[in-house]
Structures are given as structure tokens and as C-alpha cells.
Amino acid sequence: MKKQHETPTEKIDNERKVAVVTGSSSGIGYATTLQLARNGYLTFATMRNPEKGSDLIGAAKNEGLPIQVEQLNITDPDSINDFMTRINKTVGRIDVLVNNAGYWLIGALEDLSIREIQDQLDTNLLGTIRVTRQVLPLMRERKSGTIVNVTSALGRFGLPAMSGYVASKFALEGLTESLAYEVAPFGIKVILIEPGVVKTKVKDNSVVGRRALRNDSPYSSMLGSFNAAFSVLWENASTSDQVAATILQAISSPERKLRYPVGSDVAVWLEKKSTMSDEQFQEYMMTSLGSLAPRQR
């Protein structure tokens, strides 16, 4: 497949560090692509639909940044194979992989279909696994590399109306912990980035379970409370640039630190969770978020 973009100043050589960022068309992936490119990385900004990369291409041209927009569908093994073939032919290395692609599935478990849950896991969890498995041999060969998995504060605790999403992020947290043990002997560093609420298009790009939208859902009041709570949290949310800056800090640090929470909301939640019983923490979250519990009909 033809490369989508190459900056005029770009020189592909064995000295320039190479980064791959998934889900780069907007939000955290977009900001991270710019942050890495501005700090000298030849950055492959990957996305399912490269036509959405026009803003990145414009920024790369204006600033002379080494950014290439590439097609990559992390749920499609053929797409991943094609992308890795292009990487091997052009640069032959990946120093940093940022697994960022994902989306929110909103709805109580009972209101989610098995297919909706499978699609959520296919992107948020299995997509990351597919890409990581393809990148690891390149990193092992060089005995260096960094894998960054963007999870969420909801990889550390659950919330109602987010069962499918939370399941994917809890699984990714556990996977990353295990992977860190496995690849450390090969000089590969593994990092978890755990943002709270971030001002991105995540709500616009979210999927609401079809049954959750029905007026007769026993969880309809909970979904309304979730939307109201999210609107309040949005007012003091972190920015994509803050998350991108944390990613740059994490990959640049010589120390092996596994987790990097991002946002004042996460700091408060994790502090409370560390000092409270599970029951106390649940009560605190329900109260502070305006009681997300479904009302009996």
C-alpha cells in the first residue's frame, strides 16, 4: 500500500528513532503524534481511515515535522500485516509503540448485546494485542523499545453504565503487567498511561448499547445520571496535550515505572481507593457522581 504522507524534510535512516501511534486521527493519539514528532521521532500516525489525517498532514507541513499518516485497522490482521510490511521495508525498526486506539461502549451489562461487548474487546483489548505481537520481534531483535498502552482510570476501578469498557481496560492493565515481566529481559520497557476524563471526541465517538437507549430499560435513569455526571467532570477534564506530555515524559525517563495516572480527577479517585474499603469507595463514587444507581420501577 502506498504511503499516505512523507514530509519534504524527512530522511529515513537508522539513527532517527521511530514511533508508531494508533488511533491518531484525533484526541490523545493526535496530540501524542505531534508531541513525539516535535521531539525528533519519525512518527507513523495510524488510523482506520487515513482521510481523517488531513489536519495532521497540514500540521506536519507547516512545522516540517517527520510525520507519516498510515492506514491501520487494529481489528484486521491483514491490515496489520500490510502495515508491518511497509515498516520493515522503509525503516525496519520501531522504538516506541503507543497503543491508543479505542472507544467507549456505554450501557449497563444487561443492556449490552454479546456482539457489542465482543466488538468492544476486539478493539480495546485484542487490537492492542494484535499490534503488540507484531512489533515485539522488532524490539527483541534490537534489545530495546518501549510499549505504551493507553488505558484509563477505569482500568483501576469500575463505574456503572461502563461495564464493557471497564472490562476491556481492566484486562489491558493485567495484560500489561504480565507483559512487563516477559519482555524486561529483552530490554523492552512497558508503560501504562491512565487518564481520567479527557477533553477529546471520546463521547462523540462512543457507542451506546442499543437496548440502553430504550425508554423501558430498567437502567435508563442510570444512563441519564451518567451523562449528567460526565458533563460536570468535563468542566475540569485534562487535555490531550497533558496526556501526550505524560507519554513523552514516560518514554524519556530512565526509570522503569509501570503506571502513569493523568489528571487531578484520577489523583483524587486513586487516593480515595487506596484508603477506603471497597464498600466505602463505591459509596463515595456514587455520592460524588450524583448517584448513578438505577431507580426501581
Task: Kindly give, in sequence order, each residue whose CB lies less than 8 Å from that of residue 8, ignoring residues fewer than 6 positions away.
Answer: 61, 64
Task: Assess if residue 50 is contained within a domain.
Answer: yes
Q: Confidence band (pLDDT; 50, 70, 90) for 256?
A: confident
The residue among 155, 103, 161 whose CA lies nearest residue 286 is 161
Tell me the three cell numbers of residue 2: 502506498
* Residue 48 DSSP SS3: coil
* pLDDT single digits (tens) 17-73: 999 999 999 999 999 999 999 999 999 999 999 999 999 999 999 999 999 999 999
Q: Is the pLDDT of residue 9 over 80?
A: no
165 is a catalytic site residue: yes
CA torsion angle 243 176 83 185 (round to 10): 110
Q: Which of 30, 41, 165, 260 is catalytic?
A: 165
Q: Confidence band (pLDDT; 50, 70, 90) for 10?
A: very low
Burial of 190 (0-12, 13-18, 19+ CB in 10 A): buried
Domain count, the chain: 1
Which phi and psi (to 5°) does residue 21 adopt?
Answer: -125, 125
- Burial code of 195-231, b = ≥16 C-beta within 10 A, e = fewer? bbbbbbebeeeebbbebbeeeebebbbbbebbeebbe
CATH (domain of 238) = 3.40.50.720
* pLDDT single digits (tens) 171-183: 999 999 999 999 9
Task: Assess if residue 255 is contained within a domain.
Answer: yes
Q: Is the pLDDT of residue 2 over 50?
A: no
Average pLDDT, the chain: 90
Q: What global pTM score does this model have?
A: 0.90
6 to 14, 47, 196: CA distances (angstroms): 17, 16, 34
Alpha-carbon span 273 to 177, nearest angstrom = 20
Q: Confidence band (pLDDT; 50, 70, 90) for 154?
A: very high
CA atoms within 13 A on the CB side of 75: 13
* pLDDT single digits (tens) 98-150: 999 999 999 999 999 999 999 999 999 999 999 999 999 999 999 999 999 99
Angle of CA points 182, 45, 57, to nearest 5°: 165
Task: Assess if residue 1 is contained within a domain.
Answer: no
Q: Is the pLDDT of residue 4 over 70?
A: no
Residue 148 is given by DSSP the state E
Q: Give the residue numbers spanning the domain of 180.
A: 18-288
Q: Confidence band (pLDDT; 50, 70, 90) for 227?
A: confident
* Residue 25 DSSP SS3: coil
Q: Confidence band (pLDDT; 50, 70, 90) for 224?
A: confident
Task: Assess if residue 3 is contained within a domain.
Answer: no
Q: Confidence band (pLDDT; 50, 70, 90) for 291?
A: low
The residue among 186, 185, 191, 105 whose CA lies nearest residue 149 is 191
Q: Compute the average pLDDT of residues 152-158.
A: 94
Task: Assess if residue 297 is contained within a domain.
Answer: no
Q: Is the pLDDT of residue 223 over 50?
A: yes
The residue among 35, 14, 40 whose CA lies nearest residue 250 is 35
Task: Assess if residue 9 is contained within a domain.
Answer: no
Task: Assess if residue 94 is contained within a domain.
Answer: yes
The residue among 32, 34, 46, 140 whose CA lies nearest residue 84 is 46
Tell me the three cell numbers of residue 292: 448513578
Long-range contacts of 251-255 (CB under 8 A, 24+ apart): 251/96, 251/146, 251/148, 251/189, 251/191
What pLDDT, on the 0 to 100 scale, is given for residue 201? 72
Tell me the three cell numbers of residue 10: 524527512
Q: Is the pLDDT of residue 3 over 80?
A: no
CB–CB of 84/141 below 8 Å?
no
Task: Assess if residue 188 is contained within a domain.
Answer: yes
CB–CB of 255/189 below 8 Å?
no
Tell me the three cell numbers of residue 41: 521521532
